[in-house]
Amino acid sequence: MKKVLLTLMVALFALVAVSETVITVAAGAVGQELELTKKAAERYMEIHPDVTVRVLDTPDMVQDRLGLYLQFLEARSPEIDVYQVDVIWPGDLAQHFVDLYEYNADKVVSMHFPAIVENNTVDGKLVAIPWFTDAGLLYYRTDLLEKYGLNPPTTWDELEEAAKIIQEGERKTNPDFWGFVWQGNAYEGLTCDALEWLASNDAGTIISPDKKITIANANAVEILEKVAGWVGTISPSGVLTFAEEDARAVWQTGNAAFMRNWPYAYSLSKGEDSAVAGKFNVSPLPAGKSGNGAATLGGWQLSVSKYSKNPEIAADFALFMAGYEMQKMRAVEGSFNPTIEALYADYEVLEANPFFGSLYYVFTNAVARPSTATAPRYNEVSTLFFKAVHSVLSGTADAQNALEELALDLEDLTGFEVVWGF
Partner 1 sequence: MARKDKLTLAQKEQRTAYKLLLPALLILAAVAFYPLFQVFYTSLTDKVFASGTDEAPKFIGIENYKSLLGLTIQELPPIVDETTGDPLIDESTGMTMYERAIRVLPRSPVRYREWFQFSFFGRRYVVGARDPEFMKAIWNTLVFTVISVFLETILGLGVALVVNSNFKGKGIMRATMLVPWAVITVVSARIWEWMLQPTRAGLFNMVLSRLGLGDGGLSFLSMPTLQMPTLIAVDVWKTTPFMALLILAGLQLIPKELYEAGRVDGANRLRQFFAITMPLLKPTLAVALIFRTLDALRVFDVFQVLMGNRMYSMASYNYYQLIGNRNMGLASAVGVIIFFIIGIFAVLYMRLMGVDKE
List residues near partner 1 by CB under 8 A: 61, 63, 66-67, 70-71, 73-74, 93, 95-96, 175-176, 185-187, 236-241, 249-250, 255, 379-380, 383, 386-387, 390, 394-396, 401, 404-405, 408-409, 412
Nearer to partner 1, 200 or 255 (CB): 255
Give yes or no for a contact between 401 and 380, defined as CB atoms under 8 angstroms apart.
no
Q: How far apart are CA 402 and CA 396, in angstroms?
A: 10
| Sequence-separated (6 or more) residues with CB below 8 Å from residue 8 | none
Nearer to partner 1, 209 or 395 (CB): 395
Nearer to partner 1, 231 or 265 (CB): 231
- Shortest Cβ distance from residue 288 to partner 1 (Å)? 25
- Shortest Cβ distance from residue 88 to partner 1 (Å)? 14
- Shortest Cβ distance from residue 169 to partner 1 (Å)? 17
Q: For the chain, what is the HEC assignment?
A: CHHHHHHHHHHHHHHHHHHCEEEEEEECCCCCHHHHHHHHHHHHHHHCCCEEEEEEECCCCHHHHHHHHHHHHHCCCCCCCEEEEECCCHHHHHHHECCHHHHCHHHCHHHECHHHHHHCEECCEECCEEEEEEECEEEEEHHHHHHCCCCCCCEHHHHHHHHHHHHHHHHCCCCCCEEEECCCCCCHHHHHHHHHHHHHCCCCCCECCCCEECCCEHHHHHHHHHHHHHECCCECHHHHHCCHHHHHHHHHCCCEEEEEECCHHHHHHCCCCCCCCCCEEEECCCECCCCCECCEEEEEEEEEECCCCCHHHHHHHHHHHCCHHHHHHHHHHHCCECCEHHHHHCHHHHHHCHHHHHCHHHHHCCECCCHHHHCCCHHHHHHHHHHHHHHHHCCCCCHHHHHHHHHHHHHHHHCCEECCEC
Nearer to partner 1, 86 or 202 (CB): 86
Nearer to partner 1, 260 or 387 (CB): 387
Nearer to partner 1, 251 or 280 (CB): 251
Nearer to partner 1, 61 or 108 (CB): 61
- Shortest Cβ distance from residue 421 to partner 1 (Å)? 16
- Shortest Cβ distance from residue 48 to partner 1 (Å)? 30
- Shortest Cβ distance from residue 315 to partner 1 (Å)? 19
- Shortest Cβ distance from residue 76 to partner 1 (Å)? 9
Nearer to partner 1, 279 or 306 (CB): 306
- Shortest Cβ distance from residue 365 to partner 1 (Å)? 30
- Shortest Cβ distance from residue 245 to partner 1 (Å)? 12
Nearer to partner 1, 314 or 388 (CB): 388
